Amino acid sequence: MPRPLALLLLFFLAAPLAGKEAAPAAADPVLEKRVMTLAEELRCLVCQNQTLADSNAPLAEDLRNQVREKMREGKSDREVVDFLVERYGDFVLYRPPLKATTLLLWFGPLLLLAIGFAVLLRRLSRRHQAQETEMSTADRKRAAELLAGGEAQQR
């Protein structure tokens, strides 16, 4: 094998090793996976556009620890989420729950789409009507003349 190619190969083989190092040191990989999956769904309150999984803020770390601890105690995902919502409100959820105050959030886009369709349909039918009335007058007569005398004119 030529040397540059071997080096390149070595480089790519080494990449996953470097990746491993960044992973959180966890005693229990299954639990850790559960913690991180749930943390992906939760908002870090300090840096509000990051998830709890992404954030390095000390509070996010504390909250991940709490999540981990609760899960170790055998709490379900639902119970852990409820624990956080009780303290920080629905705001911690990236998927807001469906309730009276969030109806517009959930169905607003659909509503806008429906309005858009209604407007479009009205426009189209109006345009259709307008064309029909125009055709029924002088144009129709001219069209008939053109059709009748068309061949002779073209020649």
Partner 1 sequence: MTMTRFAIPIAIFVALLVLLGIGLKLDPREVPSPLIGKPAPHFELPQLHEASKTFTERDMLGKVWVLNVWASWCVSCREEHPVLLDLAAGGTVPIYGLNYKDKREDGLSWLKGMGDPYKLSIYDFDGRVGIDYGVYGVPETYVIDKAGVIRYKRIGPLTPQIVKEKVLPLVRELDRA
State the residues that interact with partner 1 by CB under 8 A. Answer: 45-46, 48, 58-59, 62-63, 66, 85-91
Q: Min. distance of Cβ 4 from partner 1 in angstroms?
A: 51
Q: Min. distance of Cβ 29 from partner 1 in angstroms?
A: 25
Q: Fill in the DSSP letter of residue 99.
A: S
Q: Min. distance of Cβ 86 from partner 1 in angstroms?
A: 6
Nearer to partner 1 among residue 101 and residue 154 (C-beta)? 101
Report how far residue 145's alpha carbon sits from residue 155's, in angstroms, rounded to the nearest whole number. Answer: 16
List Cα–Cα distances, 53 to 7, 43, 47, 94, 115, in angstroms: 35, 9, 12, 12, 38
Q: Min. distance of Cβ 132 from partner 1 in angstroms?
A: 19
Q: Fill in the DSSP letter of residue 28.
A: -
Contact between 39 and 53 under an 8 Å Cβ cutoff? The reply is yes
Query: What values do phi and psi take at 117, rounded to 5?
Result: -65, -45
Nearer to partner 1 among residue 36 and residue 44 (C-beta)? 44
Nearer to partner 1 among residue 51 and residue 66 (C-beta)? 66
Nearer to partner 1 among residue 36 and residue 63 (C-beta)? 63
List Cα–Cα distances, 38 to 18, 63, 99, 124, in angstroms: 25, 12, 22, 48
